[in-house]
Structure formats: C-alpha cells, structure tokens
Amino acid sequence: MAGKVGWYGRKRTRELALIVCFLLPSLAIFLLYRMIPLGWNVVLSFQSWSPMRPARWVGFEHYEEMFLWDDVFWQAFWNTLIWIGAAPVAIVLALGIALLVNSDLKGASVYRTIVFLSYPLMTVAVGIIWRWMYDERGGFFNWVLRSTGVIEQPLGFLASFDMALPAVIVTDIWQVIGFYMIVLLTGLQSIPQHLYEAARIDGAPARARFFRITLPMLRPSLFLCAVIGLLNSFTSFDLVYIMTNGGPGHATELLITYIYKAGFGQTKFDYAAAITVVQFSLLLVLTVLANWAAGGNAGAVERD
Amino acid sequence: MLGRRSALKASVALAASLATPAIAQTRRRISFLTWNIIDQEPLIRGWIESFQRANPGAEVEWLDKKGPELPPFYQTQLAAGTPPDVINTQGALWLEYAANGALMDLTEAIAGDPAVKSRFNAEYLANWTYQGRNFMVPFYITKTLLFYNKPLFQQAGLSGPPGSFDDILGFADRIKGGDRTGFLTLNFDWLYWPLFAMNGIELLTPDLKKTAFNTPKAAEVVEKLARASDSGAINKISWTGRWVEPNGAFGAGNVGMLHAHSPAYYFFRGQGTWVTPESLGVAHAPGGYSTPNSHGLGVSKGSRHPDLAVAFVKHVTADAQAGQLANQRRILTGNTAVDTALLAKLEKEDPTVHAILRTQIEHTDKMVGNWRTPLDSRIKEAFWPELQNALLGRKPAARALADAERRVQRELDRA
C-alpha cells in the first residue's frame, strides 16, 4: 500500500504536533497559574471558607450580599468604571503629544524623552511623590494655588470626597501617558508618507488628512492603548493603595483594592472571590466590546 | 570467621547508623514570625542563640514581615498547614485567629508556671484574653496619650493640658490660625476611640451582639468633631492620614496636640527640631482614657512542637531578654520588673521618655477600643468610613451614625 499514509505521516498532523510542542510549556504555565486558580476562585465564590475553617457550600449568598446589601461594592464598581472612562482622556492627550513630537517641532526628541520618563518610574514612588504634591499643608499644588492668589484656604485634594478620585486619576494619567505616546508615535511613523502626499496633491485639508488617513491608520495602536488602559484600570492597586488606601470613606475604592481589603484585611477570601468573579466578568465584557469597536479582528494575524 | 578488628568496625558502623536517625529525631525546628522589627536583628539572633544553647537540638528560624504583609503571610501559611510556630501580632488581629482556633490556648502554660504569670502586668496580660482564656502574652506594650506643643499653648494663652472633651475642642480652636491647627489624632485600630469613651459612648452592648453607638450624645460628639475639623481647629489629617502624615504634621510644629500612642514620639522627635524636654508636653487624655495597641506573642495551634514554642515565648519574655528589648528600644514590655527598672533608669537619663512611658502603665483600667470580638476588623471596616463621612462633612452626623449602625449590625448578625 505505497500510496497510503498514516495519521502521523500527514503534513498537517505533523505541523499541528510541532505547534502543540511549542505551545505546551506556555499552555502548562497558563493552566497552572491562570486557569486552575480562576476555576478554584469561581468555586470559592460559592463557598464559605477561610484559612481557619473548612469550606462549606453557600450557593449565591456572597453574590446576594454583594449586589443587594454591599454599598461599598457598588461604590468600588462605579469608581472602577470612572477610572476606565479616564483611559480615553489619557489616550487623546497622548495622541496630541505624539502628533506634536512627530512634527517638525524643534527639540521634539527631548520632549519625547521627558514625556516618556514618567512611565518607567515605580508606581509606589509616583504615589508617594504625588501624595506629597497634593498635601494640604506643604504640597506643591496648594503652594502654587495660594501663591498665585487662586485660593486662600488650602485644598485637601486627597482628603476630599469630591477631589480624591480625580486627583488619583490625574496621577495615573501622568504616569501612563508617556507609554501611550510612544505606542501612538510608533503608529504615526509607520503610516506611509505617500498617502499624505497624495492627499495634499488632491487638495485635502489637514483636518481631512487627520480623520481620513491618520486616525484609521492608527486604529491598531489606538486599540492597543485602549486594551492597556482597560487592564490598567483593573490593576491600579498600588497607586490607590499608596495615595489614599481607598479613602476618604471609600471615595477612591476600586474593585481591586476592595478585593484585597476583603481578603487580607477581613479574612473574607470567599467574598473576595465573588467580587473577583464580577470583576473578571466586567473585564471580559469590556474586552469583547473593545474588540468589536476595533473591527472585530483585533490581534488576528493576516496570512498571505 | 570474623576477625576482631572487623567485628569492632561493624559494631561501630552499626551504632553510628542507629544513632543517626536518633540525632535527626531530636532536632526540633520552630519558626518565629515578628512584626516589622528587622532593625533588632542582632538582639533577636542573640535570643535564638541563647534559647538553642539551653535547648539542645532545638532550632529557631526567624521571619520578619512588615505590618501590611504579616496577616496575608500568616493566613497563607495557615491555609498551607504550615503556620509559624510563634507569632507576634499587633492590636486586635489575634482575636480572629484565636476565635477561629488558629492560636493555642496558653492559659494553662501561663498559670502552671507562677514565675511566668507573675512577670506580666496583669492589666496588659488581660488584654490578650478571649472568652476568659489567654491566647497571647505581652511582647511590648503601648497605648495612647496626649502630646502637646507647649510654645503653641503659651501663644494661645493656655497653660496645661485639656481636662475634658470640650477643653480639647476649645483649646484647639484657640490655637488654630494660618497654617496652625489645634488637634490631631491617629485613627487606625480604634486609636481615636478615647474621644468617644470620654463622652460615655459605647460601641457595642456588653454582650458584643448589638450596636450601642447610635445615640443623640454620639451624634452631638460627631457634630462637634466635624465642625472643629471644618474650622481648622482639628487637622483633617486626623481622619485621612495613618502614621506618617499625622506624626509628620505634629513634628512640623504647627499642631497644638497629638493624640497618639507612645511610639509616635520617636517618629515626630526625628522630624521636629522644636521637640525638646521643655517644649513637649505629655499628658493623659481627659478622663485617663486610652486605646492599647500592643504587640503580643502567641503560639500557632498547628505548631509541630508546641512545647518548644511555648518555651521560646517564655524565654523571650523573661527578664533578661525583655530587659534587652526594653533598654535597646526604650519601650515597655509588659514585664513588670523590667519596666520598673527601665523607668527608674530613664527618670534620670531621659525625663521626656520617662514621662511618656510612665503614662503607659497608668490608668490601665481605662483602656478602651479593645473589644474582645473576632469581628473587630469587620466592625472597623463598617464603622470607620461612615464616621469619616460625617467628620469630613459629607453626611450629617445622625445619618452617618444610622448608616454605620446598619452596616455594623449586619456584620454582627451575619456572624
């Protein structure tokens, strides 16, 4: 039977086996450190458990507590959404800066470096520095505002229920804007120049060139920034923890800080697991929406 | 036939092989988890060495964690079934561990050794009891007191410390102005509770099952505090800062009074050049009320060598070791003889520290904010944000207290 080939002899099967071999180490790590903890977390959210007592099945009790009784959860939920909503603001600002440093501006490379400098800084250090800058008595902002006569009495930025969250978000934007700018700058520099030349020859104004060429061509970079902004919103634990620890009250509480407090502050790991499930679901929904907004094939590899 | 030399070698080899596991079995290892005292490494290594010398075959592994890291670390070790044998905790953290069976009951171990029981300050030792059983013993002890800035007092025409709650607010109001504020308090771990206790306000009913704080008197007190915070008489950091900010603010010399526990002195002294024996006033809070925030030593129930762990606790709290700690850190240890000796020494060497530490063993019957409930952290988390809402002017006092009552009662009921 010279013409018959076994399953292993098929080219496609061999290719598949090779791909699996390459993927296996990372898949094993993904399974061990992502999927199994995630699965256990979901199970835990339906149990009553702490390190000091055995697990007991309680069904939807934690979810009922969370959705119907826990106003701190709702505050943390809305704060997280507000934080997510700030990401587009940062991206727009970063795009403005990227366009500036991509132009013929004198000293553009210096400005680019200065703007990017904030990104590699440790978030904990950023949090401490900005906390002092916002300080009511000796802080930089109050000094400037009082020196220039804008205010008479110092403002307690981080002690105020209304100003604390915006103040922390401004710090977050300051830190991450350099990264967005670099991503967008790379995108801008990869746009073929002949498109702009053709548009100029056709007499297209600058505004049209921006909306018809720049923005569409930047879509992958913008999507990348949006996804990073989304993930950043869900993981901004350190900045909030250092600057306000979720306070005053719970004015700057995010889901991630509330999860930490419930788990490690009050030994409610079971309840923290339930909040984690909600946070994960929210992240999943928003990622699907972002992918849809980006055309539905973000991350796909086009084959020749 | 086996030669004499061969027989001798064989018997030596046999003896050696039999002895090896025996030696291995006599090697007993315990671990000692401390709360952010890595700076005391030579001292603790010395304790371990002397303990190991006195207990052949014993090995002590020392672990030190910063405050925020210690509870997660201990909880994960509990979950893994390998809790550190001897644990040092701060404040009321131990209550949850004790109530849930993570800590060993030390009552018999203490009572069975009169020399050990008599070494401790009885009021402080009683602080570590849950349902009448002793789960921990004092390691080093602190409670709140009132520091005041004498030059600011003089400028405001004040001569001595406040004698009542209204005095605190009145004095603070006279001191405030420009960048100056009159009063600051630490707020974590119920350290602000003396302000309520001196007004006769209780957090919970005596059986710890119902809330007791939502009263007209409490609303009046909270309103007064909120008004004083709004006017600048009370520094708002009292309700937003934790440790560095309030102590730093007092150290800067712009705050009239600081209500804090004794270790705060070592922090603000390093920050404020104005802090001298002549300029710093030390007093009890009005009514002698204070909140303890001590460190204790306990033994995990999951310890594989509980007897050795208990012996280590006794070793660390004995006169020699406690004396070293007291002298090196200039703190009280709850060991009566050691504390008496330290105070006698400090009276001549450092009168300010003497005055501060003296307050720590006075009015120990007026210690408040130390409810023996394993729900302490949950009650705190339910109560404090609502109180902050009122103190920082976001909610009227009555509404904030009602909301706090609903949340605290829910925690109590769920338990």
List residues of B whose CB lies inside 8 A of any A CB.
Answer: 71-72, 75-76, 78-79, 96-97, 100-102, 179, 236-237, 239-240, 242, 245, 249, 252, 254, 377-378, 381, 385-386, 388-389, 392, 394, 410, 414
For chain B, give the mean pLDDT: 91
Rounded CA separation B336/B319 (Å): 9
Predicted local confidence at residue A267, as pLDDT: 85
* Banded pLDDT at A1 (limits 50, 70, 90): very low
Predicted local confidence at residue B12, as pLDDT: 59
Which of A137, A156, A244 lies nearest to residue B249, judging by beta carbons?
Answer: A137
Asked if A159 lies within 8 A of B71 by C-beta distance, the reply is: no
Whether residue A245 lies within 8 A of chain B, CB to CB, comes out as yes
Q: What is the pLDDT of residues B358-411, one digit of tens each?
A: 999 999 999 999 999 999 989 998 999 999 999 998 899 999 999 999 999 999
Q: What is the pLDDT of residues A53-73, one digit of tens each?
A: 888 999 999 999 899 988 899
Q: What is the pLDDT of residues A220-232, one digit of tens each?
A: 888 888 888 888 8
Whether B203 and B373 have beta carbons less than 8 Å apart is answered as no
Predicted local confidence at residue A303, as pLDDT: 56
Predicted local confidence at residue A113, as pLDDT: 79
Q: Does residue B1 surpass a pLDDT of 50?
A: no
Whether B257 and B50 have beta carbons less than 8 Å apart is answered as no
Provide the 8-state DSSP code for B177: B
Predicted local confidence at residue A11, as pLDDT: 79
Q: What is the pLDDT of residues A245-292, one digit of tens each?
A: 888 888 999 999 999 999 888 888 999 999 999 999 998 898 888 778
Predicted local confidence at residue A51, as pLDDT: 83
Asked if A161 lies within 8 A of B179 by C-beta distance, the reply is: no
- Identify the sign of the CA torsion A46, A48, A50, A54: negative
Q: How far is B75 from chain A, CA to nearest CA, in Å?
A: 6
For a pLDDT cut of 70, what percent of chain B falls above it? 94
Tell me which residue of B142, B94, B137, B89 sits closest to B113, measured CA to CA.
Answer: B137
Highest mean pLDDT among A30-34, B14-18, B165-169: B165-169
Helix (H) or strand (E) segment spanning residue B190: none
Predicted local confidence at residue B356, as pLDDT: 97
Which of A49, A146, A267 is the best mutation test for B, with the most CBs of B within 10 A? A267
Whether residue A52 lies within 8 A of chain B, CB to CB, comes out as yes
Predicted local confidence at residue B415, as pLDDT: 77
Asked if B392 lies within 8 A of A158 by C-beta distance, the reply is: no
Rounded CA separation B282/B24 (Å): 55
| Residue of chain A whose alpha carbon sits nearest to that of B82 | A51
Asked if B236 lies within 8 A of A136 by C-beta distance, the reply is: yes
Predicted local confidence at residue B23, as pLDDT: 47
Q: Does residue A168 surpass a pLDDT of 50?
A: yes
* Banded pLDDT at B272 (limits 50, 70, 90): confident
Which residues of chain B have a CB within 8 Å of the CB of A250?
A: 385
Q: Please report, to the nearest 10 degrees, the dihedral formed by the alpha carbons of residues B82, B88, B92, B94 taken in order.
A: 30
What count of CB pairs under 8 Å joins A to B?
70
What domains can you pick out in chain B, each with its CATH number? 28-142+293-361 (3.40.190.10), 144-291+375-414 (3.40.190.10)
Which of A65, A137, A147 is the best mutation test for B, with the most CBs of B within 10 A? A137
Token pair listed for A245? 């620890």
Predicted local confidence at residue A290, as pLDDT: 79
Which of B101, B377, B392 lies nearest to residue A161, judging by beta carbons?
Answer: B392
Q: What is the pLDDT of residues B170-190, one digit of tens each?
A: 999 999 998 899 999 999 999
* Banded pLDDT at B227 (limits 50, 70, 90): very high
SS3 B234: strand
Q: Does residue B17 surpass a pLDDT of 60?
A: no
Mean pLDDT score, A11-24: 88
Strand locations in B40-197, DSSP E?
58-65, 86-90, 129-130, 133-134, 136-140, 144-149, 181-185
For chain A, give the mean pLDDT: 86
Q: Does residue A299 surpass a pLDDT of 70?
A: no
Predicted local confidence at residue B24, as pLDDT: 47
* Banded pLDDT at B331 (limits 50, 70, 90): very high
Q: How far is A137 from chain B, CA to nearest CA, in Å?
A: 7
Which residues of chain B have a CB within 8 Å of the CB of A267?
A: 71, 75, 96, 377
Burial call B212-242: b when 16+ CB within 10 Å, e when fewer: ebbeeebbebbebbbbbbeebbbbbbbbbbe
Q: What is the pLDDT of residues A68-113, one digit of tens each?
A: 988 899 999 999 999 998 888 999 999 998 888 887 777 777 777 7
Which of A163, A240, A266 is the best mutation test for B, with the most CBs of B within 10 A? A266
Predicted local confidence at residue A289, as pLDDT: 85
Rounded CA separation A274/B153 (Å): 53
What domains can you pick out in chain A, each with its CATH number? 75-293 (1.10.3720.10)
